[in-house]
Structure 1
Amino acid sequence: MKKSDYYYDLPEELIAQTPAEPRDSSRLLVYDRATNTTEHRIFREITEYLRAGDVLVVNNTKVLPARLFAFTKNGGRVEILLLKRLDLTHWEVLVRPGKKAKTGVELFISEELSLVVKDRTETGERIVEFLFDGVFEDIVSRAGTVPLPPYIHEKLEDPDRYQTVYCKTDGSAAAPTAGLHFTEELLAKIKGMGVEVAEVLLHVGLGTFRPVKEDDLTDHKMHSEFYRVDEKAAETVNAAKREGRRVIAVGTTSVRTLESVADENGFLRPCSGDTEIFIYPPYRFKCVDALVTNFHLPESTLIMLISALMGRENALAVYREAIEKKYRFFSFGDAMFIK
């Protein structure tokens, strides 16, 4: 399978620059795998496709104000993107320009926060040690800003619109964007229908968004991301699997978490760790039965993941239909329900 097999041409004007208001007013393309048919709805109407006993699995990660600006002793400006926490003081980060972040260099962010570059990874990221006195998350919340993807050029007036309404645990460099469509009211309605909601955690880093450079997919290496599945989530999903009820992932990050943990029969165990799972055809899903997702970049690992669920040709055909009907694409774009 080649990277070029997942290319499609997207008009730039269909790249969403601002989130839908309200959240659940975005459009929803419903794809039925059994009949290879589509329907076009509004996201809040997803309730018509859910039923009592379904388990909706969401990723409760919270986006850190992970974009920081630092200065060298000579006054040079450096942009830093927090990617992955390694321990209490050490992080893997992306630095631009990298030439100003040689090993041993100290960079100054604020009176409360500085860092020392400790190492360089094979793929060019830096391992740094932060120097601070206090609670790191509090200090970063004052010094940093929420990073938006490079294809979004509009200023985000309300940073909370790049967070899900159920976010809890700081640690992501980007939002699990399929979850941005849910409002608290819609979730309450869904739960009232008898649908269970299980929360898992995957801190979104470069693993999801790193471009696929190699044309042969087997040569692509995913960046590792931290996940956690607690006992409650495992029990909820396992009960559904035993009873033949649907497990519906909200977003590709939830898919990657579930499929990283599931055994061959789709059952989960409470655990945490790092995952480098790369899902592309032909992949046999062990746990996930359906997926709520956004529309993804051409030749990305995300369009490869949904192609594993719905078939590559079907995915590209549905994307062509979405383009014809002027759906909005990427992080602030519209949604798709693959059932």
Structure 2
Amino acid sequence: MKTSDFNFYLPEELIAQTPLENRDESRLMVLDKQTGEIQHKFFKNIIEYLKKGDCLVLNNTRVLPARLFGAKEHTGGKVEFLLLKRIDKDKWETLVKPGRKAKIGDRIVFGDGLLKAKIVDIGQEGSRIVEFEYNGIFEEILDKLGTMPLPPYIKETLKEKERYQTVYSKYEGSAAAPTAGLHFTNELLQQIEEKGIKIVYITLHVGLGTFRPVKSENILEHKMHSEFYMVSKEAAEVINNTKASGGRIISVGTTSTRTLESIADKKGFIHEGQGWTDIFIYPGYEFKVIDGLITNFHLPESTLIMLVSAFCGKDVTLNAYKEAVNNKYRFFSFGDAMFII
């Protein structure tokens, strides 16, 4: 299977640069994966397609202000850090720009010395392992000095940090938002619960590996970066009870999907736990847990569109994307959504 099989034409003007004022007023494409039938709605209408007894699974990770701008301690040369994942208390895997000049032993200063870092090793695909030095609480310092790590295709400045967080975000640790969840409001979630739909939260800290391009033409040669997940006993029980009683498991986003499919047994039941997953889902994969998927519109040739294609078929997916382009849906992180059932 080739990476180019997942390419499609996308006009640049359809890449959403800013979030809508009201989260649930984004557009929603409802896609029947069996027939390919498409309906055009607004996200607030999703409640019409959820049934009593369903279970909605959301990723409650919270995005770190993971982009830092500093300078080399001795030369003053400008350096940009993007925190990818925490390895130990003060040790992080980090993308550094300019990377070729970031050598082991280099020391970087941020915020007039409020935060310092030393490069201690080379990580995967040219990333750097860095160790931070500071006085106080790291998260508070990061919140003061860091900025939101918006994807490179977003050129506009984000006016409100919270618009790149879901309303239910809880545990900090992500380098990018689980964007399918950005469409939910507290009011909509309340309406969903009142209809008799169970809502459970799991955690997967999104790393940039989820969004990195597939560089090999043969997709089987692509290696996903690992990401940390946590699933509570309570969440596992609700999901398992829903499956046992014939209800549908509706996954909100590719991150929730990858977590559930990583920890499920052969019968589709899951257990509490935490760990790292590097699962890569592409066509041919047999889903064990999810029955429906809420997701945004993704980049051409990305692992995300491959996952969607695995769920509803490549031809059905690419036809839906063509329909989305023709109907001027907004794409990517701040874009519109689709519900695949």
Report the TM-score range of the alignment, normalised by the length of the smaller protein. over 0.9
Distance in 2 (CA, whole Å) between partners of 1:34 and 1:209 is 27
Distance in 2 (CA, whole Å) between partners of 1:136 and 1:231 is 29
Residue type at the aligned position of 2:101 = K
Shift of 1:99: 2.4
Equivalence map 1:175-254=2 (5 Å)? 175-254=177-256
Residue type at the aligned position of 1:54 = D
Match of 1:256 among 255, 258, 278: 258
In structure 1, what is the equivalent of residue 66 of structure 2? 66
Percent identity for Structure 1 against Structure 2? 58
Equivalence map 1:1-339=2 (5 Å)? 1-72=1-72, 73-110=74-111, 111-339=113-341
Determine if contact 1:207/1:276 at 8 Å carries over to the other structure. no
Shift of 1:69: 0.7
Q: Secondary structure at the match of 1:190?
A: helix
Unaligned runs of 5+ in 2: none
Q: Secondary structure at the match of 1:319?
A: helix
Distance in 1 (CA, whole Å) between partners of 2:80 and 2:251 is 34
Shift of 1:207: 2.1
Distance in 2 (CA, whole Å) between partners of 1:28 and 1:34 is 18
Distance in 2 (CA, whole Å) between partners of 1:285 and 1:207 is 21
Give TM-score scaled by structure 1 length. Answer: 0.99
Determine if contact 1:203/1:226 at 8 Å carries over to the other structure. yes
Q: Secondary structure at the match of 1:161?
A: helix
Residue type at the aligned position of 2:142 = V
Distance in 1 (CA, whole Å) between partners of 2:30 and 2:140 is 41
Shift of 1:188: 0.4
Shift of 1:122: 3.9
Distance in 2 (CA, whole Å) between partners of 1:187 and 1:127 is 39
Distance in 2 (CA, whole Å) between partners of 1:99 and 1:288 is 42
Distance in 2 (CA, whole Å) between partners of 1:145 and 1:133 is 20
Unaligned runs of 5+ in 1: none
Summarize deviations over 1:37-90 as a string: whole Å, max 9, x none: 000000000000001111000000000000001110211010000000011011
Count of residues paired in the alignment? 339
Summarize deviations over 1:272-310 as a string: whole Å, max 9, x none: 111100000100000011000000000000000000001
Give TM-score scaled by structure 2 length. Answer: 0.98
Determine if contact 2:120/2:131 at 8 Å carries over to the other structure. yes
Shift of 1:135: 1.1
Shift of 1:36: 1.9
**TM-align CA RMSD:** 0.7
Q: Secondary structure at the match of 2:338?
A: strand
Residue type at the aligned position of 1:36 = G
Determine if contact 2:52/2:196 at 8 Å carries over to the other structure. yes
Q: Which runs of structure 1 show a deviation greater than 6 angstroms over 4 or more consecutive aligned residues? A: none
Shift of 1:242: 1.1
Give the stretch that moved more between structures: 28-37 or 48-57: 28-37
Distance in 1 (CA, whole Å) between partners of 2:282 and 2:159 is 36
Determine if contact 1:56/1:198 at 8 Å carries over to the other structure. yes
Residue type at the aligned position of 2:151 = P
